[in-house]
Amino acid sequence: MQALLHQIFSGLANGAIYASVALALVMIFKATHEVNFAQGELAMFSTFVASSLINAGWPYWGAFVATLAFSFVVGVVIERVVMRPLQGAPALNTVVVFIGLLVLFNGLASWIFGHTMREFPSPFPPAAWYGSSYLSPHEVGMIGVTLVVLTIVFLFFRFTRLGLAMRAAAENPHSSRLVGINVGWMLALGWGLAGALGAVAGMMAAPIVYLEPNMMSGVILYGFAAALLGGIDNPWGAPLGGFLVGVLENVAGAYLVGSHLKLALALALIIGVLLFKPSGLFGKTTVVRV
């Protein structure tokens, strides 16, 4: 029982990372119906930037905020420069461009920062009072940061004019244009937010998985599984899916498949959801008109 509880709690902590990644995926999917295959590599790149800032003597939270700003700008620039001209292009073209971005950022990171694993600091000291036998302080911190981020995102979309405009632009671009919303910029802002959310996930994951160019390949796979399970068009469902998948990964890893098959488990989850419940647990079923 003790062991099971332990697995569940640390699954929730991993789930917090998947939740941020999943929310970032939803952010872009809602607006453009595209799945950002490069989300993980963008997050990895952002984390390298944070690491460089910290090594240059910045305090952790200063570097954290600066990295969020950097990732936001990178997201906006990618939307404006790369994704913009592709609007309405067939799925193949956008998928290839996303893969291009993935490889580009992976290559740039190895080129600039090198292949060697780096340690990445946690802002939550190992002996802090909120640690326990179930959850280390970093794990508690991860869950806390994710919940704070989710709340901020919720408040932003629910209570600000800009948030409302972004939701409108995603829901119905034509009518939004008629009431004077700049739909193009709303999409770019969505990309920026997704970039920042990914950076949060990267910086929270790095103390656990260590910082190196391929650090996100497992995380992004679980992020996909989370988003699909919760519903890739549902900003509540997807993060919830993240926590669910995190727990599932840990419990199944400990009792069913062993830690050597965790990626195959994510693969099975992704294909299973796509085949049997393509809209996810909390998603909307879409009907396509011929």
Partner 1 sequence: MRGAAGRSARARLVLTALVATAALVAPFLLGDYQVYQLSVIVVYIVAVLGFDLLTGFTGQVSLGQGAFFALGAYTGVIALTKLHVPYAATPVLAGAVCFVVGTLFGRTVARLEGLYLALATFALAIATPQILKLDALDAWTGGSQGINFGKPASPLPTLLNDDRSLYFLCLAFAFLLYTGAWNLLRGPTGRALVALRDQPVAAATVGIDVAAYRSTAFGVSALYTGVAGALGALVAGFISPDSYTLFLSIQILVGGVIGGITAIGGAIFGGAFIEIVPDLVSKISDAAPWALYGLLLIVCIMVMPGGVAGLARSILHAAEKSRKARPR
Question: Which residues contribute to the site for partner 1 (CB under 8 A)?
Answer: 33-35, 37, 82, 85-86, 89-97, 99-111, 115, 213, 217-218, 221, 224-225, 228, 260-264, 266-267, 270-271, 274-275, 278, 290
C-alpha gyration radius of the chain: 19
Beta carbon nearer to partner 1, 135 or 188: 188
Shortest distance in whole angstroms from residue 217 CB to partner 1: 6
> Token pair for residue 233?
């068009």
CA 168, CA 176: separation in Å to the nearest integer?
6
Which of 197, 222, 221, 198 has its CA nearest to residue 11?
222
Shortest distance in whole angstroms from residue 258 CB to partner 1: 8
Beta carbon nearer to partner 1, 129 or 276: 276
Beta carbon nearer to partner 1, 45 or 64: 45
Q: DSSP assignment of 24-40, as one string?
A: HHHHHHHHHS---TTHH
Shortest distance in whole angstroms from residue 121 CB to partner 1: 25
Beta carbon nearer to partner 1, 103 or 162: 103
Shortest distance in whole angstroms from residue 235 CB to partner 1: 19
Shortest distance in whole angstroms from residue 267 CB to partner 1: 4
Do 200 and 145 touch, CB atoms closer than 8 A?
A: yes
- Report how far apart, in Å, the C-alpha atoms of 248 and of each of 21, 127, 196 are: 17, 28, 26
3-state DSSP assignment of residue 57: coil
Shortest distance in whole angstroms from residue 155 CB to partner 1: 31
Helices 237-255 and 262-276 sit at what angle, rounded to 10 degrees?
130
Write the burial class of residue 289 (CB in 10 Å: 0-12 exposed, 13-18 middle, 19+ buried). Answer: exposed
Beta carbon nearer to partner 1, 64 or 98: 98
Phi and psi of 113, rounded to 5°? Answer: -105, -15
Shortest distance in whole angstroms from residue 213 CB to partner 1: 8
Beta carbon nearer to partner 1, 57 or 90: 90
Beta carbon nearer to partner 1, 105 or 124: 105
Which of 193, 185, 155, 165 has its CA nearest to residue 29?
193
Beta carbon nearer to partner 1, 97 or 215: 97
- Report how far apart, in Å, the C-alpha atoms of 152 and of each of 47, 107, 165, 243 are: 21, 33, 17, 18
Shortest distance in whole angstroms from residue 183 CB to partner 1: 21
